[in-house]
Structure 1
Amino acid sequence: MPKAYWIARVDVKDADAYKAYVTGAADAFKAHGARFLARGGRFTAAEGTGRARNVVIEFPSFEAAVDCYNSLEYQAARAHRAGFSEGEIVIVEGVEP
């Protein structure tokens, strides 16, 4: 079964308020086997418009990635970032090695 990934691109408007999202989402990520591969590090926008924060999260399966996003824990955390950030999250199924 191939792994899956969240690819998130975010502009954070209030870093202190955003911390409540990060803290709240931790339980959802842990419960669904998430592993952070990239989390806000250095980047360059090679094509298109970039965002200030880029995150790649690996999950054991596409179902786990979708279930995490739809979980009550994640949705509660998501509500914390609604007014303090703007961005996109896509969930992508990986390829078998």
Structure 2
Amino acid sequence: MNKGYWVIAWGVISDPVAVERYVAPATEAIVAHGGRVVVGGEPARTYEQGLASRIVVVEFDSLQAAISAYESEDYQATLHHLVGAATRDVRIVEAIG
């Protein structure tokens, strides 16, 4: 069974205080579902069409665990903090091999 990952590229953050209110409960929900934040921060370099925006990568033991965690009630309950405060591109992908 291959690992699953959330790959999150943050877009515009118009309300950093609201984003900070999201971080602690979201991290708690992620960890409760077996997730591990393995990357977080601004890119050191960007190439081609890369944007200099915050990136977060969360690792799960399987693709299904990653999907279940994102769709869980406790994680979904944290997303209200981001409404009108930030835009993100969230993708869930499966590890190769």
**Given the two structures, how large is their TM-score scaled by the length of structure 1?**
0.88
State the one-letter code of the partner of 2:58: I
**Given the two structures, how large is their TM-score scaled by the length of structure 2?**
0.88
Instruction: Report Cα offsets for 1:36-89 as digits up to 9, x if no partner.
Output: 111114432212141521111111100110011101111111111121101200
Percent identity between the aligned chains?
A: 35
Checking the alignment, whether the CA contact within 8 Å between 2:5 and 2:57 is kept in structure 1 is yes
User: Equivalent residue for 1:20?
Assistant: 21
1:7 maps to 2:7 = yes
1:92 maps to 2:93 = yes
Instruction: Give me the whole-angstrom Cα distance separating, in 2, the residues matched to 1:80 and 1:38.
Output: 22
Return structure 1 stretches of 4+ with deviation > 4 angstroms.
none
User: Equivalent residue for 2:37?
Assistant: 36
Instruction: Give me the whole-angstrom Cα distance separating, in 1, the residues matched to 2:43 and 2:89.
Output: 18
Deviation at 1:4, TM superposition (A): 0.8
Instruction: Give me the whole-angstrom Cα distance separating, in 2, the residues matched to 1:83 and 1:24.
Output: 18
Gaps of 5+ in 1: none
Checking the alignment, whether the CA contact within 8 Å between 1:18 and 1:80 is kept in structure 2 is yes
Instruction: Give me the whole-angstrom Cα distance separating, in 2, the residues matched to 1:41 and 1:51.
Output: 7
State the one-letter code of the partner of 2:53: A
Gaps of 5+ in 2: none
Instruction: Give me the whole-angstrom Cα distance separating, in 2, the residues matched to 1:24 and 1:51.
Output: 26
Deviation at 1:24, TM superposition (A): 1.7
Checking the alignment, whether the CA contact within 8 Å between 2:43 and 2:52 is kept in structure 1 is no
